[in-house]
Amino acid sequence: MSSHNSIQQLAELLQNHAKPVIRPQRLALSPIYDLDYRMAVIALAFAIHSTKTSEGEHRIDTSRLKLLQFVAQRPSLLPAMNQWASSKKTSPLLRGSSQRLRRGYMGDSTYDQVVEYMIACGILRPEGQYLALGRNGSYVDSIRLASEKESMFTQERFTLAELLRMRVTVAMLEGR
């Protein structure tokens, strides 16, 4: 209740001495809910982590993409991701620490919505459990090139590069 008292105290100090000024513009939404930003991160994750099939087509497992883009937007999760990726090799008693990450990535429904939008735009194309490039797939390359040229999304690109060194197993993608 201390903050409630503080607010009460502030109100008493200001009453009859100051007039309120409300600045709604100061309440900026987190960029992670910006469609453009999310599309760019997904495009970068696809560009960096997709693999080539025997037909020469680039594709990525949709769950893998979901996990990669989730961590790319939250570089502070890299240590937890590292621990999760290596925990099975070290000790079966290690648990809990990566649980937050599992829950977070699996509950990221915004990803599903953005991917649906990218499929509708023809940037991505569903192929069973995989996502491949659609008729407007050049978007992915343009994002990668532009971000490198303009030094944009450096943190996200660094995180995605770090993730290349980790072994993301099927069990991890299933949240186990």
What is the footprint of another protein within residues 114-153 (CB under 8 A)? 114, 117, 121, 123, 136, 139, 142-143, 146-147, 150, 152
Closest CA to 49 of 57, 61, 37: 61
Cα 127 vs. chain centroid, distance in angstroms? 22
Residue 112: closest CA among 80, 66, 174, 160: 66
Q: Judge contact between 122 and 135, C-beta under 8 A.
A: yes
Subset of 76-115 contacting another protein (CB under 8 A): 76-77, 91-97, 99-101, 103-104, 106-110, 113-114
| Candidate list 17, 89, 165, 167; residue touching another protein; CB under 8 A | 17
CB count within 10 Å of CB 132 equals 18
Distance of CA 105 to the CA centre of its chain: 8
Closer CB to another protein, 117 or 125, in the complex:
117
Residue 127 Cβ vs another protein, minimum distance, rounded to whole Å: 21
Nearer to another protein, 54 or 91 (CB): 91
**Rule CB under 8 A: which of 45-64 touch another protein?**
none
According to DSSP, residue 135 is labeled T
Instruction: Say whether residue 20 binds another protein (CB under 8 A).
Output: yes
Write down the least CB distance from residue 164 to another protein, Å.
22
Which range binds another protein by CB under 8 A, 27-35, 53-61, 125-133, 157-165? 27-35
Find the binder of another protein among 13, 120, 161, 164 (CB under 8 A). Answer: 13
108 contacts: CB under 8 Å, gap ≥ 6: 66, 70
Size of the site for another protein (CB under 8 A): 73
Q: Could you give phi then psi for residue 132, rounded to 5 degrees?
A: -120, 175
60 touches 131 (CB < 8 A): yes
Quote the least distance from Cβ 135 to another protein, whole Å: 11
Residue whose CB is less far from another protein, 17 or 165:
17
Amino acid occupying residue 28: A
